[in-house]
Each structure stands twice: as C-alpha cells, then as structure tokens.
Amino acid sequence: MVIRNRVIEEVIEGRQVPSAVNMHDVNGRLIMPGLVDLHSDTLEKCIEMRPGVFFDAEFALLSLDQRIAACGITTFCHTVLTGLKKKGGCRPPAGRRLLI
C-alpha cells in the first residue's frame, strides 16, 4: 500500500515499490480500516464488574476505550440502561449520569 497523509492512495501487488516509499514489515498481520461496533452493553459491565461493586464511570469509560482501541475498534456506540433495572446492569441513576 502507498499511504500519503494518512490515506491509502494505492495498493501495489506484485509490482516494484517506489523508492521514495518507507517500507514497514507487518509480519503477515492484516492492515485494515478501523472496525465499527454499533451497539454494546459493555460499558455497564465495566462500571459494575461484580454485583454491587461500582467503578467510577469516567475511569470505566477511559479503560474501555483503551481496550476496544487495542482490538482495532475505532468507532464504538455505547448503550446505557436508563429505564428499568436489568439483571447485572447499571442502576438507572448510574446510567442517567453517563448521558450528556
């Protein structure tokens, strides 16, 4: 691939690589766009990892963002329970505090 200004401009297969291009050996790993997760209840589980034990919401959010980025997920839509209590999920007041 030829990447300029963080954009893939060309895919080179079986051709000579231009001499001005920096080479990076990825050792057989895949190069792909970031993944998108459109719905996840994971944030609630990061806030209350064990029943009745709550982590600070900001800490849980930052920690989760680091974990999902390490998995190649670049766009993540958090869902938050704000209505009825669901077994194992955040209590409604905790969910409401996360909303902006």
Tell me: the pLDDT tens digits for 31-61? 778 889 888 878 878 888 888 888 888 898 8
Compute the C-alpha angle 6/10/16, nearest 5°: 120
Tell me: the pLDDT tens digits for 60-81?
Answer: 889 999 999 998 898 988 777 6
Which residue reads 């190649």 in tokens? 72
89-97 mean pLDDT:
59
3-state class of 92 per DSSP?
Answer: helix
pLDDT at 91 over 70: no
pTM for the whole structure: 0.57
Query: How many independent structural domains does the chain possess?
Result: 1
Contact 98, 43 (CB under 8 A): yes
Residues 6+ apart with CB under 8 A from 17: 23
- Going by C-alpha positions, the residue among 54, 91, 62 that lies closest to residue 78 is 62
Structural domain that includes position 49:
2-98
Beta strands in 1-100 (DSSP E): 2-4, 7-10, 35-40, 73-78
